[in-house]
Chain A
Amino acid sequence: MNLFGYRVPMMASLLVWCVIWEIVGRLDLMLMLPPFTEVLQAAVGLVQTASWQSATVTTLRAFVMGMALSIVVGVPLGILMGRVKLADELLGMWVSIFSSAPLSALVPVLMILFGFGEKTIVAAVFLFAIWIIVLDTRAGVRHISPSLLEMARSYGASKWALYRIILWAALPEILAGIRLGLIRGVKGVVIGQLLVAIVGYGALFETFSRNFRMADFWALTIILFAFALLIAELIERLEAKVEFYAGARQ
């Protein structure tokens, strides 16, 4: 249903916007907006340049490291908060605050703590992504039915096995948190790079806008957007699978 009810028309209307973009660009109606086809051409050219490739590698590496870190730290933290009341009460407030605070203001701190390099970007991704992962994991753990855990205990599950059961039972929520975390992480990597301005895509954006290479600028933006949407889509697929199995499990 998703495919025929929604996805297809959605794509279609984006095509309409591309046509409008093309027309606006050709007529030179808006400042700094080259025609869409020109942007596409620029994109094709861009992905062949060494600078784009190395920037992409840098960006991806920082993104993956930051995300891995925020999942590795965030999920256990969320489980802890879901299981231990004291931890929840001491940390809950701060997690809530940071999950909706303007974290972009903290990037300058990261810059002086971690230097003007990749470490700062990793830290930015981590900082943007972790809170929502913690919150969703916590919610998932809270939703586990007590009878499941009692069952596990009554069968003499060890503490370690118990936590593995918790992890599996809370998986749908954890994945939802990771999906939102990924979207935030992409924003984090971009904001971090824009502010540091000498790493990865940030440096490219800086160069393109400084030299008025608008087609390149838009091409990079489109690539970035496509990447962000692709990640969201992939995780959503995975989530649907997990939800299916979680539903079948009951």
Chain B
Amino acid sequence: MFKNMSYKNQRKIIIIAFSLIPVILLFTFAYLPVINMFKYSFTNWNGYSPEYKWVGLKNYRTIFTDPKYFTVFKVSLYYFVATFVQMGLALYFATILSFKVRAGNFFKGIIFFPSLLNGVAIGFIFLFFFKPDGTLDTVLQYIGLGSLTQGWLLNPNLINISLAGASLWRYMGFNFIIFLGAISSVGKDVYEASDIDGANKWHQFCHIILPSIKRILQLNLILGISGAISAFDIPYIMTGGSNGSNTFVIQTIDVAFKYNKLGLASAMAVVLLFIVIVVTVIQRLLVKEGE
């Protein structure tokens, strides 16, 4: 049957047959829930009842009029700052390890390792790390900085820095591996040519590496910043959002499952989605202007 079809038609059938299953999966598990989320955001659904009422824009009005829903974005600033530190460190290590270094692969492994760990495990590791007389305090005492030990999570001025530090550790490896991949795609001949021209490593970094990984750098920044806005797993597992470490996503979960306001929580999720889109667009525009 297929033998008699034209090549064009055969190709069409093959393409459809191959993409059907992934598209169905994508639609059922990604787009359908999002569409439903938009729908629920206009209702007062409680999350389990078969009935709900349409309440129009009431949920959105609640979010934008009650300051308690937006003040938590202050916490995101800590993760925002940490994102830049994270990028800087990842870029630094990626650059160094892209040159010939003794035991280079070993260090690459060590830096990438946290990305392979489960977020819950990392949360518990860092709970022990920050405990009074835990790992961090012990190390500080050992190197004679015992006077610096304190309640790393207890101190409300430190807690977000501690948590942002933990999430930096968790996510840096991922940025690092992407940078490393991008850097290693630069041809050896370019370095050789610059060596002949008398460039040192710093010149090479500024004029060869940076320009050739610019796109990847932007991508990582976008991922990092949207990650900072929607910071969730580390603070949720370690503190549950208490002691001033609450983030917008934790709050959304609380509203949905502690207070059975799934409609309001959906509206919060929609708002977050738009904030991330807006921030990404702004970032794109700023970068474009610089070009």
Whether A and B are associated in the same complex: the answer reads no
Mark A residues whose CB is within 8 Å of B.
none
Mark B residues whose CB is within 8 Å of A.
none
